[in-house]
RNA sequence: GGACGCUUAGCUCAGUUGGGAGAGCAUCGCCCUUACAAGGCGAGGGUCACUGGUUCAAGUCCAGUAGCGUCCA
């Protein structure tokens, strides 16, 4: 073995072997355990969030697989409708190719499939580098035939059950992408804007109470006035009661619109008069419905003023009796240009009362970044009320549990006022809606055109045209847990693996995905008794990985760190190129470059997959965002190296030697018994942490045991045995070395798959295990009978002894190389026993020449002193230790002890404490007091003796 | 405005039912000792955001304040 762990030498070959040999497939026996991967975007690439969540999923899967479960981690990717379509459109533009509209739908979709074929392997290759034990043979894609069938099936059945409907509604419209988007894809931002106070002249000579011949309405969006169909006041507002029912003349367009009364209007806000534009504002839309107002759409799909307003009745049907003309000079203006022009015209007509600054919430499309327009269009909706009720109950009654639990509140609050789900998107890339229209616009829903014709008895003379729209990407991912297992067929896989066990995901998609998955699954999947099945029993919600300053990682900020760069390393220049390569704004690129040069002056070193995974696990405290810290990664890379070198030591001392696997006498040392016990304690707590999803504590346990127990103490304690022990002692120690290491590797494997496998393949045969992989070995089980309490206590005694000597060495700057002779005093029978039996350990670890026992009445030379209980260890000062230095050391110890004693004594003097505290607590305090007092006396005595010299 | 979360060592974070404040990194000192200098040994470092309350006892429970963050309106 190399003296340094070099991950790049081993990782890819091991992974390839695992995959080729089919180790990732379910064993076919044992209780089922299943995790469905949140399908990453097929054309995307791996980011830290993926690495984080996948590490957790893989660790869980490997743990359960080793623990005898029929474990499946289902692989699949998502077609990511808008995102992918945008990428391809940009690519076409960059290459100077015809755009999507020039190409036409079919050719464009071909291009997208081409792009998917080209780039679809990127993320799956990257995921392999993480060591993910996904079953690749079952890989699915949301647009493959099976899943597309499931989508159609679900759509048709929901339609038949009247849970899907089509209607003209106000939706969030993205004028750039020219599609509807859901509430969840809208980001509301506070913007400094204005509020315009506009005068609307009253018709027929009516006047207000204070004698004005106009009303003043306040609006943040003056351009929508072209579509106003009423002015509303509060019915209780005495200022305007007399005017309700009268009309105003809408300026610029000279349309008569009524003054209506509606509770929605806030009397306190502005003038108490509100213009109502049902086709361009969600609140107004509701007002319009309540008051049966016509709706006038004045914008085109690209948010330009149309030539003629489109008018609809409140129920969405076309209204031909009402006309909404638009002044010629405004036609075709962009919405922002229209705003400017309209305000100018109001001002010119002396109808602009005033303009006030105003901060308003403006909706932006989270993909396009443009202002979203409430827009009246025909869309498909899922009626979710009943499904939401069932889905809420599943969490309420504990069939589904969130970890951490507080996310259940988030889930409940959303479910309580859930809106019908707009599932149609005006895109080309996605599942085309299985609905056909005849020439009269009559809609027919079916799995395909043939089915529609048959079902509705439409012969070939009836021309049918399929709906142009596709379904929201989340529609297909909502079916993920069961569509991937072969639904609508009642497959063996579905019976075996559904409901799945854990969903690991970010809180940001609880609404988008988790909630919808629960709704859809419970509606379609029932057990033998007809009870709705949940998609998964546990939702483990992870936090976000942020950069070292707590900022979200994003391309535009240029602070993204690619997980693979942490694994393989990257030069500074390459990193800068990667971060600024496709930047449109040179200014931004310069800033990012500067920052990157500062943060990664030498680029990023290679750390290996195991170190990355271990870091992610160690940082995974429940539900909290993680500020990424390269230093942590470095620390855990060092940890891998530590394990590697410890293993080297074990192998150097066991390979080709008798490790007791074929019989032979075994004489276990105290250290052997101790480490075997500590190992069991570690096994127990690691299992516990796995079951509680506490990967941070689990990682800490592994780290602590490996470094602070196994390496720092046990390996050192084996040296004297291996150097000079008897054959039976050496055999027992070799056996312990390989047994502990072999077990430890299995314990680590779920988190650190590569290094554990690499070492295990060498160590296992020495421990009597011959197999081709650690992956399919049993996960260590807790064996209480291997814990030898007295061995643990005795080793603690030895540690105290050794630490006492080391402390003096350290404080006195005595070289660790210089052997010392020490004297011991006040030696009890049990002290004497331990001393006799562990002489070689003490000599070796404390680097001692000699340990002499001093009779109780014998006075030793002037010495620096350490204690193990009552027993004193004397290190003669002569020639080694400066008097003042020793006095200073003692003073420090005395101060510390006095502080401790004071605290404890204070407690014990408090009658209330003595009377109220539980007996065990009280006794503990008393013991402590005695202990501190004793120690203090000794230290003080020692101090006096030395100062008298 | 409502809900939730966070505030612990210089930095990143643990702290499980209330009972002597922890880890990693960083810092300081001594060591290239045949597993490991990506290391060994030793040491220093905290008004647990603030205020009040409950309790014999509060980082931990309760109330409030401040700052930060997220979601919703």
Nearest nucleotide from residue A605 CA, by C1' atom: B38
Of the pLDDT bands very low, low, confident and very high (cuts 50, 70, 90), residue A584 is low
CA A379 / C1′ B47 distance in Å:
61
ipTM confidence score? 0.93
Strand B interface, A 919-948, C-beta < 7 A:
921, 924, 928, 931-932
In angstroms, rounded to a whole number, what is the distance separating the alpha carbons of residues A914 and A327? 90
Å between CA of A631 and C1' of B31: 25
CA of A910 vs C1' of B48, distance in Å?
Answer: 25
Instruction: Return the closest nucleotide (C1') to the Cα of A405.
Output: B4
Q: A860 CA to B39 C1', in Å?
A: 37
Chain A window 150-179: residues with CB closer than 7 Å to nucleic chain B are none
pLDDT at A735 over 90: yes
pLDDT tens digits, A757-790:
999 999 999 999 999 999 999 999 999 999 998 8
Report if CB A711 to strand B is under 7 Å.
yes
Residue tagged 């010119």 (tokens): A348
Long-range Cβ contacts of A88-91 (<8 Å, 24+ apart): A88/A112, A88/A115, A88/A429, A91/A115
A670-691 vs A789-811: helix crossing angle, rounded to 10? 100
In this complex, the residue with its CA at the shortest distance from the C1' of nucleotide B30 is: A813
Say yes or no: Cβ of A402 under 7 A from any atom of strand B: no
Q: pLDDT tens digits for A509-529?
A: 878 888 999 999 999 999 888
Query: Is 80 exceeded by the pLDDT of residue A624?
Result: no
Model pLDDT, residue A733? 94
The predicted pLDDT at position A536 comes to 93
Residue appearing with tokens 């109470």: A209
How far is residue A770's CA from residue A758's CA, in Å, rounded to a whole number?
Answer: 14
Q: What Å value separates CA A249 and C1' B20? A: 82
- Write out A846-911 in H/E/C secondary structure: CCEEEEEECCCCCCCCCEEEEEECCEEEEEECCCCCCHHHHHHHHHHHHHHHHHHHHHHHHHHHCH
B41 C1' to A7 CA distance, Å: 29
Q: Which of residues 594-613 of A touch strand B (CB under 7 A)?
A: none
Q: What is the mean pLDDT of residues A102-109?
A: 90
Quick one: which residue's CA is nearest to B34's C1'? Answer: A649
- The per-residue pLDDT for A878 is 79
Residues contacting A276, CB < 8 A, separation 6+: A228, A229, A230, A231, A232, A260, A284, A287, A288, A293
Could you tell me the distance in Å between the CA of residue A831 and the C1' of nucleotide B1?
Answer: 70
Task: Give residues 475-514 of chain A lying near strand B (Cβ < 7 A).
Answer: 507-508, 511
- Residue A629: CB less than 7 A from any atom in strand B: yes
Distance CA A667, CA A727 (A): 9
The total of other beta-carbon atoms located within 10 Å of residue A346's CB is 20
Chain B nucleotides near the protein (CB, 7 A)? 3-6, 11-15, 19-20, 23-26, 29-33, 35-44, 55-57, 69-73
Residue A626 Cβ under 7 A from any strand B atom: yes
With bands split at pLDDT 50, 70 and 90, how would you rate the model's confidence at A948?
confident
Q: What is the mean pLDDT of residues A120-140?
A: 93
Which residues in chain A, range 456-475, keep a C-beta under 7 Å from any nucleic strand B atom?
A: none
List residues bridging with A509 in a β-sheet: none
| Under 8 Å between Cβ of A57 and A47 | no
Is the Cβ–Cβ distance between A608 and A131 less than 8 Å? no
* A554 CA from B9 C1′ (Å): 31
Q: Evaluate if the CB of A815 falls below 7 Å from strand B.
A: yes
Output the six-digit token pair for A613. 């995974």
CA/C1' separation A516–B62 (Å): 38
* CA A607 to C1' B38, whole Å: 10
A35 touches strand B (CB under 7 A): no
Q: Is the CB of A621 under 7 A from strand B?
A: yes
The reported pLDDT for the residue numbered A483 is 94
Give the distance, in angstroms, between residue A917 CA and nucleotide B57 C1'. Answer: 8
Distance A676 CA to B2 C1' (A): 55
Separation between the CA of A652 and the C1’ of B32 (whole angstroms): 21
Does the CB of A916 sit below 7 A from strand B? yes
pLDDT digits (tens, 9 = 90+) for A157-189: 999 999 999 988 888 898 888 888 877 778 777
- Nucleotide B22 C1' to residue A30 CA (A): 40
Smallest Cα–C1' distance to nucleotide B56: which residue has it? Answer: A913
CA of A541, C1' of B41: distance in angstroms: 42
As a whole number of angstroms, the distance between CA A889 and CA A887 comes to 5
> In the 885-914 stretch of chain A, whose C-beta falls under 7 Å of nucleic acid strand B?
892, 900, 903-904, 907, 910, 912-913
Query: What's the confidence (pLDDT) of residue A57?
Result: 94
Q: Kindly indicate the confidence band of residue A72, based on its pLDDT and cuts at 50, 70 and 90.
A: very high
Helix axes of A630-654 and A727-748: crossing angle, nearest 10 degrees: 150
Kindly state the percentage of chain A with pLDDT values over 90.
36
Q: Which nucleotide is nearest to A649 (CA to C1')?
A: B35
Residues 360-379 of A with CB under 7 A from strand B: 361
If one counts every other C-beta atom within 10 angstroms of the C-beta of residue A484, the result is: 30
* Per-residue exposure over A1-39, b if at least 16 CB sit within 10 Å of its own CB, e if not: eeeebebeebbeebbeebbeeebbbbeeeeebbbbbbbb
Task: Give me the phi and psi of A763, to 5 degrees please.
Answer: -85, -35
Nearest-nucleotide field for A651 (CA, C1'): B35
Is residue A627's beta carbon less than 7 angstroms from any atom in nucleic acid strand B?
yes
User: Which nucleotide is closest to A6, CA to C1'?
Assistant: B38
pLDDT at A732: 94
pTM recorded for the entire structure: 0.88
Q: What is the pLDDT of residue A253?
A: 84
pLDDT tens-digit profile of A642-681?
A: 999 999 999 999 998 888 888 889 999 999 999 999 999 9
Query: DSSP string covering A368-404, please?
Result: T-SBPEEEEEEEEEE--HHHHHHHHHHHHTTSSEEES
Distance A559 CA to B47 C1' (A): 37
| Contact flag, residue A380 CB and nucleic strand B, below 7 A | no
pLDDT 10s digits, A446-502:
999 999 888 888 888 888 899 999 999 999 999 999 999 998 998 999 999 989 999
What is the per-residue pLDDT for A599? 82
pLDDT in tens, A818-876: 888 899 988 999 999 999 989 889 988 888 888 889 888 888 888 888 888 888 898 88
Q: What is the arithmetic mean of pLDDT over A79-97?
A: 85
The CA–C1' separation of A785 and B59, in angstroms, is: 36
Q: How far apart are CA A749 and CA A729, in angstroms?
A: 30
Q: Among A226-235, A313-322, A434-443, where is mean pLDDT lowest?
A: A313-322
Residue A48 (CA) to nucleotide B4 (C1'), in angstroms, measures 25
- Report whether A256 contacts A248 (CB < 8 A): yes
Rounded, the Å distance between the CA of A550 and C1' of B7 is 14
A 198-257, residues with C-beta < 7 Å of strand B: none
- From the CA of A304, how many Å to the C1' of B39? 69
* pLDDT averaged over every residue in chain A: 88
Q: How far is the CA of A447 from the C1' of B46 (A)?
A: 67
Residue nearest to nucleotide B68 (CA to C1'): A550
Is the CB of A652 less than 7 A from some atom of nucleic acid strand B? yes
């Amino acid at each position: 073995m190399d003296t340094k762990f070099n991950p790049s030498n081993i990782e890819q070959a091991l992974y390839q072997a695992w995959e080729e040999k089919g180790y990732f497939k379910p064993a076919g026996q044992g209780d089922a355990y299943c995790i469905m991967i949140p399908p990453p975007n097929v054309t995307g690439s791996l980011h830290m969030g993926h690495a984080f969540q996948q590490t957790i999923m893989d660790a869980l899967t490997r743990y359960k697989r080793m623990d005898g479960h029929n474990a499946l981690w289902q692989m699949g990717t998502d077609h990511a409708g808008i995102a992918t379509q945008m990428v391809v459109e940009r690519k076409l533009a960059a290459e100077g190719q015809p755009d999507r509209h020039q190409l036409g739908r079919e050719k464009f979709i071909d291009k997208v499939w081409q792009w998917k074929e080209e780039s679809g392997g990127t993320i799956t290759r990257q995921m392999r580098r993480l060591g993910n034990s996904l079953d690749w043979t079952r890989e699915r894609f949301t647009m493959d035939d099976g899943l597309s069938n499931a989508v159609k099936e679900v759509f048709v059945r929901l339609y038949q059950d009247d849970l899907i409907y089509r209607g003209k509604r106000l939706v969030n419209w993205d004028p750039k992408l020219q599609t509807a988007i859901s509430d969840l894809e809208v980001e509301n931002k506070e913007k400094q804007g204005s509020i315009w106070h506009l005068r609307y002249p009253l018709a027929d000579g009516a006047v207000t109470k204070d004698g004005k011949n106009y009303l003043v309405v306040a609006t943040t969006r003056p351009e929508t006035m072209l579509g106003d169909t009423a002015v509303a006041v509060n019915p209780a507002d005495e200022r305007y009661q007399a005017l309700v029912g009268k009309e105003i003349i809408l300026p610029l367009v000279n349309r008569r619109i009524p003054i209506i009364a509606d509770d929605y209007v806030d009397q306190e806000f502005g003038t108490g008069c509100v213009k109502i534009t049902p086709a361009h504002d969600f609140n107004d839309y509701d007002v319009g419905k309540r008051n049966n107002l016509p709706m006038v759409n004045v914008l085109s799909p690209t948010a330009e003023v149309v030539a003629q307003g489109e008018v609809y009745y409140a129920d969405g049907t076309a209204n031909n009796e009402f006309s909404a003309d638009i002044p010629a000079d405004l036609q075709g203006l962009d919405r922002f240009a229209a705003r400017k022009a309209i305000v100018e015209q109001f001002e010119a007509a002396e109808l602009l009362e005033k303009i006030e600054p105003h901060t308003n919430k403006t909706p932006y499309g989270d993909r396009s970044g443009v202002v979203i327009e409430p827009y009246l269009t025909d869309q498909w909706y899922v009626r979710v009320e009943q499904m939401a009720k069932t889905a809420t109950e599943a969490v309420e009654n504990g069939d589904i549990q969130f970890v951490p639990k507080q996310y259940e509140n988030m889930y409940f609050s959303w479910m309580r006022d859930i809106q019908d789900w707009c599932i149609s998107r005006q895109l080309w890339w996605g599942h085309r809606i299985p609905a056909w229209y005849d020439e009269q616009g009559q809609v027919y829903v079916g799995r395909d055109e043939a089915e529609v014709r048959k079902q509705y008895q439409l012969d070939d003379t009836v021309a049918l045209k399929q709906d142009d729209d596709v379904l929201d990407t989340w529609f297909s991912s909502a079916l993920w847990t069961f569509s991937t297992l072969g639904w609508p067929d009642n497959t063996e896989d579905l019976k075996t693996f559904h409901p799945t066990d854990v969903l690991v995901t970010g809180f940001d998609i609880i609404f988008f995905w988790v909630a919808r998955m629960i709704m859809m699954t419970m509606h379609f999947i029932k057990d033998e008794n007809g009870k709705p099945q949940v998609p998964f029993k546990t939702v483990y919600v992870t936090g976000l990985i942020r950069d070292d300053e707590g900022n979200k990682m994003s391309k535009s900020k240029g602070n993204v760190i690619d997980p693979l760069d942490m694994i393989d390393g990257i030069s500074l220049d390459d990193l800068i190129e990667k971060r600024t390569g496709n930047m449109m704004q040179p200014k931004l690129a310069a800033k990012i470059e500067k920052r990157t040069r500062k943060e990664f002056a030498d680029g990023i070193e290679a750390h290996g997959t195991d170190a990355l995974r271990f870091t992610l696990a160690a940082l995974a405290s429940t539900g909290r965002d993680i500020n990424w810290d390269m230093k942590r990664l470095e620390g855990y890379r060092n940890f891998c190296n530590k394990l590697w070198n410890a293993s080297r030591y074990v192998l150097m001392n066991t390979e080709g030697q008798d490790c007791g696997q074929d019989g032979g006498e075994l004489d276990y040392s105290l250290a052997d018994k101790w480490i075997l016990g500590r190992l069991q304690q570690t096994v127990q707590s690691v299992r516990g942490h796995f079951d509680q999803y506490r990967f941070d504590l689990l990682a800490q346990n592994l780290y602590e045991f490996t470094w602070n127990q196994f390496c720092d103490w046990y390996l050192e304690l084996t040296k004297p045995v291996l150097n000079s022990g008897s054959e039976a002692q050496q055999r027992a120690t070799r056996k312990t070395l390989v047994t502990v290491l072999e077990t430890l590797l299995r314990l680590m494997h779920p988190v650190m798959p590569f290094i554990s496998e690499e070492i295990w393949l060498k160590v296992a045969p020495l421990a009597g295990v011959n197999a081709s992989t650690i992956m399919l070995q049993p996960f260590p089980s807790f064996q209480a009978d291997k814990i030898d309490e007295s061995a643990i206590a005795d080793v603690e005694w030895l540690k105290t002894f050794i630490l006492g000597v080391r402390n003096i060495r350290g404080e006195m700057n005595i070289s660790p190389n210089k052997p010392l002779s020490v004297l011991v005093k006040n030696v009890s029978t049990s002290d004497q026993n331990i001393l006799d039996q562990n002489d070689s350990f003490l000599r070796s670890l404390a680097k001692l020449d000699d340990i002499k026992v001093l009779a109780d009445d014998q006075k030793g030379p002037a010495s620096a002193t350490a204690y193990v209980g009552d027993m004193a260890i004397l290190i003669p000062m002569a020639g080694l230790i400066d008097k003042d230095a020793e006095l200073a050391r003692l003073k420090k110890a005395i101060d510390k002890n006095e502080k401790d004693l004071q605290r404890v004594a204070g407690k014990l003097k408090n009658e209330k404490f003595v009377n109220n505290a539980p007996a065990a607590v009280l006794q503990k305090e008393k013991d402590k007091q005695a202990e501190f007092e004793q120690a203090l006396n000794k230290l003080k005595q020692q101090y006096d003796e030395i100062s008298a010299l």
